[in-house]
Amino acid sequence: MKLVPAASTTVRDDLPRVDSAARPATSAPAPSFGSLAPAAPSAPAAPSGGGATAPSAPASQPPAAPPSGPSAQASPGAIAPARDAAGAPRTVKLTVARIDPWSALKLSFLLSVALGIALVVATVILWQVLNGMGVFDDLNGLLRGVGGVKSQFDLYDYVGLGKVISFATLVAVFNVLTIMALTTLVTVLYNIAGSLVGGLNVTLADE
């Protein structure tokens, strides 16, 4: 009997090694014959990288509450007057307890100066109208006839335009001083009376 030596086996290291992690996953087990229902479609996977993402559903927001108050009831462009609970216009009672004498003096000065200017202008206009109508000439002839033929009376020496303007200016200045003095005096007297009886009551109402 002849013995045959066993063949030696060698492992080659130049063959590529297969990593267990890189092995393809085993296929899923075949479905059984009892369950043949189609599988539900899966949601599409979101693309990776810089691709466009699917638009998300907008978040639900609660509806805005309608505006309340007087502004919600007023028509556009119109301002409703303030009214009380009964619907009548609102009234406010105020008391003029004191008036500043200095402010009253300044106001009276401006008003009196305006009145003085108006007086001078009105006097000049009136004189021009009367002169244009011949009133002064008629009066001058009448007075000369009364005084005689040799009378040298001239009405324009007394009622000439220059004299009339000078007289009106003096009256206007006198009116300015008088009005300022009286206004200041009345203001002081009102303040004294207001400190005793409480002043003048005024009621204001909305339209």
Specify if 179 maps to a domain: yes
Contacts of 40 (CB under 8 A, 6+ apart): none
Half-sphere exposure of 61 (CA within 13 A, CB side): 4
pTM: 0.52
- Kindly give, in sequence order, each residue whose CB lies less than 8 Å from that of residue 53, ignoring residues fewer than 6 positions away: 46, 47
Say if residue 43's pLDDT is above 90. no
Using alpha carbons, select from 98, 100, 107 the residue that is nearest to residue 180.
Answer: 107
Q: Yes or no: say if 165 and 124 are a contact pair by the CB < 8 Å rule.
A: yes
**Per-residue pLDDT for 97 more than 60?**
yes
DSSP three-state, residue 203: strand
Assess if residue 121 is contained within a domain.
yes
pLDDT attached to residue 54: 44
Whether residue 30 is contained in a domain is answered as no
pLDDT confidence bin for 47, thresholds 50/70/90: very low
- Please, which pLDDT band fits residue 147 given cuts at 50, 70 and 90? low
Q: Please indicate, yes or no, if residue 161 is contained in any of the structural domains.
A: yes
Share of the chain above pLDDT 90, in %: 29
Query: Max alpha carbon distance in the chain (Å)?
Result: 203
CA-to-CA separations, 135 to 64, 123, 142, 149, in angstroms, rounded: 84, 15, 11, 21
Cβ proximity of 189 and 63 under 8 Å:
no
151 within some domain: yes
Q: Is the pLDDT of residue 10 over 70?
A: no
With beta carbons less than 8 A apart as the criterion, state whether 89 and 207 touch. Answer: yes
Instruction: Quote the number of domains for the chain.
Output: 1
Higher pLDDT, 126 or 63: 126
Does any domain span residue 7?
A: no
Q: What is the pLDDT of residue 166?
A: 94
Q: Which DSSP symbol is given to 168?
A: H
Residue 78 in tokens: 């119109």
Which residue has better confidence, 140 or 99? 99
The DSSP 8-state label assigned to residue 88 in this structure reads: S
Which residue segment(s) compose the domain that 113 sits in? 102-205
What pLDDT score does 206 carry? 82
Q: Among 40-54, 99-113, 180-194, where is mean pLDDT lowest?
A: 40-54
